[in-house]
Structure 1
Amino acid sequence: MARIVIAGAGLAGRLCAWALVRSGHAVTVCDPSPDAQPHFDGTGAAAFAAAGMLSPLAEQEQGGARVAAWGWRSLTLWAGLVQALRPAEVPFRRDGSLLLAHRSDLGAAQRILALIPGAQALDSNALHSLEPALVPGLHGWLLPGEGLIGPVAAMHALAQALTPAPTQSGISVDWRWGCPVLSVSPGQARLASGEWLRADWVIDTRGLGTAPDLPVRGVRGEIVTLSLPGHGLRRPVRLLHPRHRVYLVPRTDEELAVGASEIESGDRSPVSLRSAVELMAAAHSIVPALAEARILRLDRHLRPALPDNLPMTHHEPGLLRLNGLYRHGWLLAPALVEQLLAAAGLAQLHALVNVRPPSLSLSAP
């Protein structure tokens, strides 16, 4: 058994903790947030302010083959993880996703599609059969095998799995909420209080909290959560627009998320009127029924990105780092956590969720 300190209780930190305690290690998790819950105010874990699209084919456009390979691996791991958590409470589907374009934007869409091998063109009848809620006249392409996960539900399930009720025995971690980590080094973490936590291993998943030690920047994401009972959308869709990459993700039969993939800005202020109007107008242009949707929440966050927009994993005795998940956090985190913990000999995530071992082609950047 190893003593392990994890700096950061976002998605990567919670996945690491989940795998490590099930492998018999003693785990302490430190995070500046006051608790494990989302607050939707631009602070806390960026994973809460995400749509939860699992789109390895679509992300080839910017991430290339490595991001796609990690994404497919993560889809396999997510299937096992959700079953091991709360399958009735965590939305997870793999019915594919759709790329859409209005007729006037077809030229711009074709340039993007050239970078996405595997997209299957659909005629109007096939598109209507898959998604009858869409407005007629759209051009559509199916990305088979892609999926979605419910971010808030999954984050909650990970925390709950590591926090048994007082009357129950079970695997748990030592949560240190309201406890920022200022710096890490092999075998130790320095807290804002001045305390040093010493352990056999320190795992740094702090995202933007690692600056200036790492050249990490914030990429703003904005999301609108809508309620429309019986909206009818079954799959995540992306609208290929010359100025926006707007996505629309059905989380439940009543709730949907609308967002834009990335905004190069470190601004944490609330969503602007312009952004909100553009996002919702784009969504309404493809799903007319959204005219009657109700706005549940406008949210924003900064996602950690490195200069090349690819994730970084680092392994040395006593210290592991995972950062730069950019807009790919839910798509890449399980595969990268699996890879990092296996390299250190601390846990075999695939065995814990009963899936096949990873292929040798999943190499770190």
Structure 2
Amino acid sequence: MGRLLSLALALRGHRIDLYDAHGPEGDGAAARVAAAMLAPLAESAITEPGVVRMGQHALKRWPELLARLQQPVFFQQNGTLILWHRQDQADAARFFGLLEKNRRINPSLPAMEEKTGAALQDCEPALQNRFSQAVYLPGEGQLDNRQLMAALLPTLTELDVKLHWHAPRELSDFAPGRAGQPDFVFDCRGLGARSQWKDLRGIRGEVVRIHAPEVTLQRPTRLIHPRYPIYIAPKEDHLFVIGATEIESDDMSPASVRSTLELLSAAYTVHPGFAEGRIVEIATQCRPTLPDNLPAVRLLAPRVMEVNGLYRHGFMISPAMLDVVLELVDHNDSPLAREFEVAVHRS
């Protein structure tokens, strides 16, 4: 969020200093660990209509933002495929019932498409008849989060953004508007802002990155699971990000054996080629989450704007949150915030 906002403001000609508690690779941030799926219809089963509208907005905005960068970033919009095993048919029916209910609330969402037999084989040839039926969600996308974070850096540098790495800051370190101080401060620190947002909490996630040359999937694939839907997000060069776990905890310790076994076993049931893949990384991180699991903006002090609570939808909604912030900067009001039902708290 901070890097996207720095880019947008620098393109407008503002002089920007960007402070990060960690390094340029994004270590310590949920953004580095994320799968970066852009799936508003799939996420509609577990989130509010406003978040879904933000996801739809972002699918249009991401290509515009990526076009501003000097380096290419993997981005695709090949939809999402949802699979389930026979014993999980009841869970699948409940899940699709939620999707259909939310599509009635938001009719601009595309219709789900059932895939069986030859249609399923044509949609995802790599499955090789391992599943007899699936549901395809058209229009959904994904990008490579680590490529994006890396690609932002040379563009920010070219725009003369001053990058301060390993430089944690508190809002009390600044006196915006005073001589020698910034005109405005934007706080996008996520969990780093817990001293300011007393009700901010972490939601732990665990992902496995696998290089599997024998596996080719053309789009993110979700597997209905008794405990939680598991996703497999294919990146370039047969790299896959596999995850799902969502644990109410600020625990940053390594992934549990149980979670890792579940993720790897689920991937193997989708495609046996994962058995010969290589585990590149097992990562954990906590996502910044407010009590209602929705994002918010605060304007509680003069010349200070706080953006937080993107929860598990960071890449899916960050362009929408960016545009909300820019409207507030320009007009001290945001029609988009009302459209997306984003809370804007003022002093």
TM over 0.5, shorter chain: yes
* 2:223–2:231 Cα contact (<8 Å) kept: yes
Distance 2:257 2:13 in 1: 49
- Picking from 64, 82, 88, the partner of 1:80 is 64
Matches within 5 A, 1:257-296: 257-296=241-280
Q: TM-score, with normalisation over the residues of structure 1?
A: 0.84
Q: How far does residue 198 in structure 1 lie from its aligned partner after superposition?
A: 2.7
Aligned to 2:185: 202
Corresponding position: 1:179 with 2:162: no
- Picking from 206, 211, 220, the partner of 2:204 is 220
Q: 1:29 to 1:100 in 2, by over 3 A?
A: same
Corresponding position: 1:109 with 2:87: no
- Picking from 126, 138, 142, the partner of 1:133 is 126
Superposed CA RMSD in Å reads 2.4
Aligned to 1:9: none
Aligned to 1:364: 342
1:361 maps to a residue whose letter is E
* 1:230–1:253 Cα contact (<8 Å) kept: no
Distance 1:49 1:359 in 2: 27
Q: How far does residue 182 in structure 1 lie from its aligned partner after superposition?
A: 2.3
Matches within 5 A, 1:35-114: 35-39=23-27, 44-86=28-70, 89-114=72-97
Deviations 1:345-365 (A, max 9, x none): 199xxxxxxxxx979734423
- Picking from 18, 24, 27, the partner of 2:13 is 24
Give aligned pairs, total.
327
Corresponding position: 1:146 with 2:131: no
* 1:31–1:179 Cα contact (<8 Å) kept: yes
Deviations 1:161-189 (A, max 9, x none): 112xxxxxx31211122211223599549
Distance 1:346 1:53 in 2: 31
* 1:187–1:318 Cα contact (<8 Å) kept: no
Distance 2:16 2:75 in 1: 28
Distance 2:131 2:164 in 1: 53
* 1:185–1:319 Cα contact (<8 Å) kept: no
Distance 1:313 1:22 in 2: 22
1:284 maps to a residue whose letter is Y
1 or 2, which has the higher strand percentage?
A: 1
Structure 2 residues not aligned, in runs of 5+: 101-110
Moved more, 63-72 or 124-133: 124-133
* 1:96–1:146 Cα contact (<8 Å) kept: yes
Aligned to 1:157: 151
Deviations 1:52-88 (A, max 9, x none): 110000111121211110001111111111222146x
* 1:119–1:141 Cα contact (<8 Å) kept: yes
Distance 1:252 1:238 in 2: 18
Q: TM-score, with normalisation over the residues of structure 2?
A: 0.88
* 2:5–2:322 Cα contact (<8 Å) kept: yes
Q: Secondary structure at the match of 2:210?
A: strand
Deviations 1:250-293 (A, max 9, x none): 00132111111522221101112222111010111111211111
* 1:247–1:261 Cα contact (<8 Å) kept: no
